[in-house]
Amino acid sequence: MNPTSSTSDPQTVGLVIVGDEILSGKRADKHMPKLIELLAARGLQLGWAEYVGDAPERITATLKRAFDSGDLVFSCGGIGATPDDHTRQCAGKALGVELELHPQAEALIRERMQDTAREQGIPYVPDRPDNIHRLNMGVFPRGAAIIPNPYNKIPGFTVGHVHFVPGFPVMAWPMMEWVLDTHYKHLFREKAYVEKSVIVFGAMEASLTPLMEQVEREHPGVKVFSLPSVDHPQYGRHIDLGVKGDPALVDAAYATLLAGLNAFGAKLGPELVR
**What are the structural domain ranges in the chain?**
3-187, 194-273
Query: pLDDT tens digit string along 62-92?
Result: 999 999 999 999 999 999 999 999 999 999 9
Look at residue 114 in the predicted model and tell me its pLDDT.
Answer: 96
pLDDT band at 6 (very low <50, low <70, confident <90, very high): low
Cα-based distances in Å from 209 to 215, 251, 255:
10, 20, 17
Please determine, looking at this structure, whether the domain spanning 3-187 carries the CATH number 3.40.980.10.
yes
Cα distance between residue 28 and residue 57, in whole Å: 23
CATH number attached to the domain at 194-273: 3.30.70.260
Look at residue 137 in the predicted model and tell me its pLDDT.
Answer: 96
Radius of gyration of the chain (CA): 23
Percent of the chain with pLDDT over 70: 96
Cα distance between residue 103 and residue 126, in whole Å: 15
Look at residue 246 in the predicted model and tell me its pLDDT.
Answer: 87
pTM for the full model?
0.83
Q: Which residue has the higher pLDDT, 232 or 190?
A: 232
Query: How does strand 236-245 pair with strand 145-147?
Result: unpaired
